[in-house]
Structure 1
Amino acid sequence: MEIDSEINLHRKQASYISQDEKFVMKEVYRGQQYSQIYFARLHLMRTLLYSLLPNWKPHLPVTTILGLEEAKECTIVGTLYKHMKLKPSILDEYSKTRSAVPLVKPRNFVHADDYLVLEDESGRIKLAGSVLSPSVYVTGNIVALHGKETDEGEFVVLDVLEPGLSPQIELPLKSREDKYVVFVSGLHVGSSSANPLLFQLLVDHITGHLGDEKEQNLASQIVHVVVAGNSVELPRGLLNGQNLAPKDQARLSSPIKELDIMLTQIAAGVPLDVMPGVDDPANASLPQQPLNRCLFPGSSVYNMFRSCTNPHSFDLDEMRYSEANDKLEYLERTLRWRHLAPTAPNTLECYPFTDRDPFLMESCPHVYFVGNQDKYGSRLVKGSEGQMVRLICIPKFCETGVAVVLNMRTLECHTLSFGTQF
């Protein structure tokens, strides 16, 4: 019987630079209003759009909303506000407590009667025409509009200019060999639907303890792992403000301990980023701050373990990755709008920044991903100046058993599917 000689595989390495500094909250003060973050967003994006106007509509005068003249074509720049008939209101919530008839909750808040308004520091005006569809745009978009004011006081939009994709550095030479990044999301450790064996199979694959020689060779090319939110599911019913009995404390901490055991196996051999999600023990408003390292006593002892913010941005071998929250079509729109969360703070909770808007995209990423989706999706987006961005929707692992693998050299991605049924 012949015995194959042992083959030693060495894991490939990649340089890592975190870009999360702008999302980290150094001081928390909630005395300010949200108008300042809108002002900062408008100021920065208007400067950008003004620089694009000479190549778009150089023959048209640029004015403010207050300076509009009836029937005269011009260009205006401002912030879109979407008036939504079905949008929840705190007054509606109050009226529900006084009503004996329960109100029907819609599946979404889009209605045929929705319309858009543009506003700047001088005023606001209702938009008309078929060019600007209320179903496409959201509150918080900064755009330039070509049109004219009617005698009814509306602005008929004839054309629209979006900021477009941000400038992008070329794909670095370091990415001329196959290196892989694994994305997984929605582990929901501790939930009734979570299968610990599925997660263990993923961990064994990443660490090279699963499969034949070919599979192990591929595993050795995995240079980074990103856990993109909703990693645990805690028994929320225990969090009622009362002191917890030892038994309840154990139930509350058990999912986190189980997650830490799994993550420790990964962090021992592969650089690992852990992001918070809406179901994780983190602050609810954007940007979510890193999960406290004390939650991970096992994995946090390794210097390759990183607890990160949400949104999360980083450079890997000089390739830029960033994260946001929605599906492929909306991901592409936010790229062209140059904003990670344009509806914050209108419909998404966020911290009321006073001097900046950290969700603006100053540079275009090479990879733009979102976690906790119902199914896997991917698309390659190309910009007018040669930008190339890989969009990825990462499915919920506890429901699908699917993780996503990205090739840093080609920007191609595929799925890893795990199952426990024969």
Structure 2
Amino acid sequence: MDERQRRIAELFEKGILINEDFLEKNLEGDVIEKIEAEQDLLVLNTDYVDIIRQQSSLVDWYEIDQYRVNAEIDRDDELYQTQLQQIHHSKLFLSTSLEITHQELSSLEVSLSEPTSTFVQHHSIQEKNILPQEDTLATQLGNHAVTILVSFENKSHKYAVHDFTSFFLSRYKFLENILRSRQELQGVTTINRVLAKKERETTTIIGIVDSIETTKNDNLVITVEDNTGRIKVLVTKSKKEIYKLAKDLVHDEVIGIIGQSYDKAIFAENIIWPDVPSTHELKKGETEEFAIFLSDIHVGSTLFLKEEFTRFIHWIRGEAGSDQQRDVSSKVKYIIIAGDLVDGVGIYPSQEEELEIKDIVGQYTEFCRLIKQIPSDKKIIICPGNHDVVHLAEPQSVFYKEYTADLTSIPNITLVTNPSLVNIGKTDTFSGFDVLLYHGYSFDYYVANVESIRTGGGYHRSDLIMKFLLKRRHLAPSFSSTPYHPSHTEDPLLIKKIPDIFITGHIHYCCVANYKGITM
């Protein structure tokens, strides 16, 4: 067997099909190692090799494959080439003990006895754009500041219908303003004007999705409304590209629609989401330091990973691991936990049978005993989740002191609401990283109701869910996807400020990816 046949056989055993143009390339040994490290790679061609060789960003190979297949079917590779260029311009660096490599991580489980563990790090680079000082609550320990940019206070009162209508109006106005700035949506008109038109013509509207129906021929009829009226939008199955987009629509989201208006309806030609601007760039820090992202610890459950968490504490204290791993632990400055510190009590039927600690105060006491062992020079930022002892409606308040007194007394802990936005790593010459924390209670709804997420990996692909929410600039675009606290004049689940890092939890699967410069 010659070298060419051997290479084909080895990659085929890994489930990777290779294009003929790939075989003509002479690959360096390190490139072959990187190819073998890619877990989701299905097809290999020269374009993919170039991405891997240039140590590009964390890549959603499933999405790239879809662009490639569509390009081959339609004989038009514009979208495919555009996506490749976007990947080349967005880089997230990963470090291993052997060398600096770049790969998508499907799991961050680490064995402290292994010297090849992978950690996310920020590389030293000069940051030119400095954000102005904001009027926020800041806490600082040593030289490592945590600034709370957004954290909510719920003020209960007697609710009326106008509380909910103002909720939706604030959402609509904010997202409408974003959509109006999109070049594709120039010339937006209101729905009542479209309904008054007699002739067939190109029309652009912005509206909120009221209902989604499927005809007997599998065409989609979407009812969209703005503050002037409602109109039906038809998406035909024959238009494959827009039909695929429309299949991912959910109730209550705000979208832009371009199409042909006729007979008091619109035949859709394109759907536009608020989305993150393509100009948003991946931010890089000035110094090498690390942040750890955790969630769903579930202290008190019989399924709590006590041994693994104890090993983590030994490592973060510099008491375990290789020399390189100890060096990394010494450079950890922040630990961010996205909810579900404990398993709670009465969360689901028969939960008591799975509890090792059956008292909620006892669960938090044990969590605090563990977390206090983390060195005090590490700043710990915590938001609650649906298992924690706070109300379920979002935004969830910070932890109730009567149950978590020890938690509120630990000096290096900053408690925030769910969701919240914090800034870490800020210096006199660097604007720091904006981190969006959201536990992710709405995720169950989107795994169940969004076809591309459900068929693309479901709960195993949290990156698909986060990308879905970022495109809609909302953490729970469907009103029924999570309980709401309606005491706010503006919708608190809007993603108003684009984060540098987006951390979630809830679904108990780990995934790392990058979307338009946002590390997820």
TM-score (norm 2): 0.58
Q: Secondary structure at the match of 1:119?
A: strand
- 8 A contact 1:166–1:361 mirrored in 2: no
Q: Does residue 141 of structure 1 match 2:290?
A: no
Change (3 A) 1:222 1:364: same
Tell me the equivalent position of 1:108. none
Q: CA deviation at 1:353?
A: 4.5
Change (3 A) 1:298 1:259: same
Match of 2:480, as an amino acid? Answer: N
Alignment of 1:9-88 (within 5 A): 13-21=143-151, 23-32=152-161, 33-52=163-182, 55-56=183-184, 58=186, 61-68=187-194, 69-70=197-198, 71-83=200-212
Q: Secondary structure at the match of 1:333?
A: helix
Q: Secondary structure at the match of 2:359?
A: helix
Q: CA deviation at 1:82?
A: 3.8
Question: 1: CA distance between counterparts of 2:348 and 2:418?
Answer: 26
- 8 A contact 1:168–1:363 mirrored in 2: no
Q: Does residue 122 of structure 1 match 2:228?
A: yes
- 8 A contact 1:288–1:309 mirrored in 2: yes
Alignment of 1:169-188 (within 5 A): 175-188=285-298
Alignment of 1:378-393 (within 5 A): 378-382=512-516, 388-391=517-520
Which of 390, 397, 401 is the matching residue for 1:289? 397
- 8 A contact 1:36–1:352 mirrored in 2: no
Match of 1:321, as an amino acid? Answer: V
Question: 1: CA distance between counterparts of 2:202 and 2:401?
Answer: 57
Q: Does residue 200 of structure 1 match 2:334?
A: no
Alignment of 1:4-403 (within 5 A): 13-21=143-151, 23-32=152-161, 33-52=163-182, 55-56=183-184, 58=186, 61-68=187-194, 69-70=197-198, 71-83=200-212, 115-130=221-236, 131=242, 133-151=245-263, 153-165=264-276, 175-236=285-346, 251-266=359-374, 268-317=376-425, 318-324=432-438, 325=440, 326=443, 327-343=462-478, 345-353=479-487, 355-382=489-516, 388-391=517-520
Question: 2: CA distance between counterparts of 1:376 and 1:310?
Answer: 19
Q: Per-residue CA shift, 1:93-113, capped at 9, x if unaligned?
A: xxxxxxxxxxxxxxxxxxx78
Q: CA deviation at 1:258?
A: 0.9
Change (3 A) 1:84 1:328: farther
Change (3 A) 1:354 1:307: closer
Structure 1 segments, 4+ long, off by >6 Å, are 167-173
Question: 2: CA distance between counterparts of 1:319 and 1:168?
Answer: 17
Say which structure, 1 or 2, has more relative contact order (CA 8 Å, 6+ apart): 1
Q: Per-residue CA shift, 1:20-45, capped at 9, x if unaligned?
A: 33x22245543344222111111222
Structure having the higher strand fraction is: 1
Q: CA deviation at 1:180?
A: 0.9
Change (3 A) 1:285 1:238: closer
Question: 1: CA distance between counterparts of 2:213 and 2:341?
Answer: 33
Match of 1:145, as an amino acid? Answer: I
Change (3 A) 1:224 1:145: same
Q: CA deviation at 1:252?
A: 3.9
Q: CA deviation at 1:165?
A: 0.7
Q: Per-residue CA shift, 1:282-301, capped at 9, x if unaligned?
A: 11011011112443444432
Change (3 A) 1:172 1:164: closer
Q: Secondary structure at the match of 1:189?
A: coil
Q: CA deviation at 1:134?
A: 4.1
Q: CA deviation at 1:144?
A: 1.6
Question: 2: CA distance between counterparts of 1:169 and 1:83?
Answer: 32
Question: 2: CA distance between counterparts of 1:377 and 1:363?
Answer: 23
Q: CA deviation at 1:147?
A: 1.4
Match of 2:271, as an amino acid? Answer: V
Match of 1:56, as an amino acid? Answer: E
Q: CA deviation at 1:167?
A: 8.8
- 8 A contact 1:286–1:351 mirrored in 2: yes
- 8 A contact 2:179–2:185 mirrored in 1: no
- 8 A contact 1:268–1:299 mirrored in 2: no
Q: Secondary structure at the match of 2:255?
A: strand
Q: Secondary structure at the match of 2:480?
A: coil
Q: Secondary structure at the match of 1:128?
A: strand
Q: CA deviation at 1:352?
A: 1.8
Q: CA deviation at 1:389?
A: 0.8
- 8 A contact 1:285–1:351 mirrored in 2: yes
Change (3 A) 1:15 1:234: closer
Tell me the equivalent position of 1:403. none
- 8 A contact 1:264–1:298 mirrored in 2: no
Q: CA deviation at 1:57?
A: 5.1
Identity level (%): 19
Q: CA deviation at 1:234?
A: 2.9
- 8 A contact 2:142–2:377 mirrored in 1: no
TM-score (norm 1): 0.71
Match of 2:477, as an amino acid? Answer: P
> Aligned residue pairs: how many?
335
